[in-house]
Amino acid sequence: MKFVLVPAWLLLAVSLRADQYEDLFQKAALHTQNGQYQQAVQDYKAALALRPGAPEAINNLAVVYYQLHRYTEAFDAAAKIWKLHPELRSAFLIAGMSAVQCNRPREAIPPLQALLANDASNRDALLALASAHFALNEFDEAIAVYERAVNYSQDDATAWYGLAICYERRAEDASAKLARMPGGGAYSKLMLAHYLQGIGDNKLAAEAFGGSELDSSVGSPEAKAEYDLARTLAAKSQQAFERFISLSPQSWQAALFLGDAARQQGDLPSALTHYQDALAKQPDSAGSLLGLGTVYWELGQFDQANTYLRQTLRANPHAVQAVFELANIAVRRHEDATAIPLLKQYLAGQPDALAARADLGRAYLHLHQYESAIVELKKAAASDESGEIHYQLSLALRKSGKNAESDAALEESKALRNAQLEKQRQRHEAP
């Protein structure tokens, strides 16, 4: 047998490199413990230069990157090792949480599910997984994960808040689906009546009920099922919000919820106070910015509304309600060249939004684009309660030389206006 002698100098060099690696690793760990994350990054990188691919150093570097909010680098580091080293559970967690933070929710799910398979009650993993499903609009999946979190801890305010938001989104989806279903209109009216009753506006509720609650047989069985689902989801959302507020009454989310509740009840001064409180506690809260913008929009204070609505879109470019309200303000101000692109953007995702159709028709009318105005105003006419849309339609038809149709639209406008005035008189005279 032939032996190969290793030179002593080479053994010494290997030993020195090992000692240097351990020294750098320990220094990096101490820097991390002291919150000196930049120094820790430098030491872990130096250690990895001596021992490339060392999983424990890569794992710890990923953790430090996450602490520094360098989420892409954290994900890239953790992704290198979590599949190969099941003993390094923090790599699973960092890979999942950092993927959520850098808007890669689909990539967050596998490592988080793998971690939860062995550590089912890991709170950070549960919340991150629920957030990933929420970002993918997979609300049922997110609800299931948040439910697991609150089952492990009934006092987890963050999980209750997530549940409330998910149930709210599902309720909105069910309501929108209901409105599009055959026979769904009757149940949409019933849902509005229950909502008005819930916020204490009994006169308007009675009017929406038509004097009494709609017969449950009205509409198709499918519409009835969707109606029941929407109401159940809305109730669950309300219960989850109330639980969250009881656990975290001073949080910005609680202030935001109270602002939403006050605005829905028509108490706009209180809504402003709550939204301003929420924004002071969380300056980049898109929900608080939208709430303030919406209240000022409802008050007709359009300069203030514009400011907050534009800030909303900077914080959340997908806030479609802010797009609609900005467009509506532009139409009211005859800034129609600004309004039309915003309305088209909004309608691309909300094609059945008749209020936006009406605004688009008005914008075209202002610009003397009468045929386009007629198309949009006819689509919106079904939502006309005051006669205003039919009046605008009559003007566009008249300008297009369609006098007979214009006269008919004008007569319908007058009839709707008279009916509205009669309802107002009856409401005023009611005890």
Whether the CB-CB separation of 405 and 389 falls below 8 Å is answered with no
> Higher confidence at residue 318 or residue 151?
151
Burial 47-64 (b: 16+ CB within 10 A, else e): bbebbeebebbbbbbbbb
Would you say the CATH fold of 319-431 matches that of 15-136? yes
Confidence of residue 349 (pLDDT cuts 50, 70, 90): confident
Residue boundaries of the structural domains of the chain: 15-136, 319-431
pLDDT in tens, 180-217: 766 555 555 555 555 544 544 445 445 544 543 444 44
The predicted model gives 220-246 an average pLDDT of: 87
pLDDT at 279 over 70: yes
Residue type, 130: A
Which tops the pLDDT comparison, 314 or 193? 314
Across 1-10, 143-152, 245-254, least confident range: 1-10
Alpha carbon of residue 128 to chain centroid: 16
Q: What is the pLDDT of residue 197?
A: 45
- Cβ neighbors of 268 (< 8 A, separation 6 or more) are 262, 295, 298, 299
Contact 143, 166 (CB under 8 A): yes
Do residues 327 and 346 touch, judged by C-beta distance below 8 A? Answer: yes
Q: Is the pLDDT of residue 347 over 50?
A: yes
Q: Quick one: average pLDDT of 137-164?
A: 95
Please tell us whether the domain made up of 15-136 is placed in CATH 3.90.1150.10.
no
What dihedral angle (degrees, nearest 10) is formed by the CA atoms of 53, 59, 65, 68? -150
- Supply the pLDDT for residue 305: 97
**How far is 64 from 29, CA to CA, in rounded Å?**
10
| Mean pLDDT score, 40-52 | 93
Q: What is the mean pLDDT of the chain?
A: 86
How much is the pLDDT for 425? 75
How many alpha carbons fall within 13 Å on the CB side of residue 13? 6
pLDDT band at 423 (very low <50, low <70, confident <90, very high): confident
Of 71-80, 135-144, 185-194, 229-238, the range with the lowest mean pLDDT is 185-194
The predicted pLDDT at position 182 comes to: 64
Take residue 297 and report the two structure tokens written for it. 């929009």
CB 147 within 8 A of CB 234: no
What is the model's pLDDT at position 2?
39
Look at 4 and 70; give whichever has higher pLDDT: 70
Sign of the CA dihedral running 274, 288, 267, 262: negative
pLDDT of the residue at 4: 39
Q: Which residue has the higher pLDDT, 7 or 243?
A: 243
**Across 257-268, average pLDDT:** 86
Q: What percent of the chain has pLDDT over 70?
A: 86
What pLDDT does residue 16 have?
44
Prediction pTM value: 0.70
Q: Please indicate whether residue 263 or residue 160 has the higher confidence score (pLDDT).
A: 160
Answer whether residue 364 shows pLDDT above 50: yes
- pLDDT of 396: 96
Q: Which of 63-77, 228-242, 276-290 has the lowest mean pLDDT?
A: 228-242
Q: What is the DSSP letter of 219?
A: S
- Asked if residue 36 has pLDDT above 80, the reply is yes
pLDDT above 80 for 345:
yes
pLDDT at 8 over 80: no
CATH of domain 319-431: 1.25.40.10
